Amino acid sequence: MIELTRSFAFGQFINNGSALSRMDPRTKLFCAVLLIALVSYISNAMAFFVCFLLCIAIQFLSHIALSFVLRSFRPFVIFFLIVFCIEVLFYQNPAHTPLLWQWGIFSISQKAITISIFTLLRVVLLYYIISMLTFTTSLVDLTDGSEALLSPFQRIGIPTSALVMVMVIAFKFVPIFLTEVERLIKAQSARGVRFDQGNFMQRTTKLAPLMVPLFINGFKRASTLSVAMEARCYGNHKGWRRSKRRALHFERFDAFVLISTLAVCLVAILANIFAPFTPFAPFPSF
**Which range has highest mean pLDDT (33-42, 161-170, 273-282)?**
33-42
228 vs 1, 39, 161, 240, 243, CA distance in Å?
35, 40, 17, 17, 17
**Which range has highest mean pLDDT (56-65, 77-86, 237-246)?**
56-65
Q: Is 251 helix (H, G, I), strand (E, B) or coil?
A: coil
The per-residue pLDDT for 285 is: 37
Q: How confident is the model at residue 57 (pLDDT cuts 50, 70, 90)?
A: very high
Residue ranges covered by each domain of the chain? 4-274
Average pLDDT over residues 209-221: 84
Q: How confident is the model at residue 78 (pLDDT cuts 50, 70, 90)?
A: confident
pLDDT at 283 over 60: no
Given a contact cutoff of 8 angstroms between Cβ atoms, the answer to whether 65 and 162 are in contact is no
Of 61, 116, 46, residue with least CA distance to 272: 46
The per-residue pLDDT for 38 is: 93
Question: Which has the minimum average pLDDT: 74-88, 116-130, 192-206, 213-227?
Answer: 192-206
Residue ranges with strand state E in the chain: 99-103, 106-109
Question: Which has the minimum average pLDDT: 4-8, 30-34, 109-113?
Answer: 4-8
Expressed in angstroms, the distance from the first to the final Cα of the chain is 45
The per-residue pLDDT for 235 is: 67
Average pLDDT over residues 104-119: 80
What size, in residues, is the chain? 286
pLDDT digits (tens, 9 = 90+) for 14-23: 888 888 888 9
Share of residues in the chain with pLDDT > 70 (%): 86
pLDDT at 207 over 80: no
Average pLDDT over residues 75-99: 79
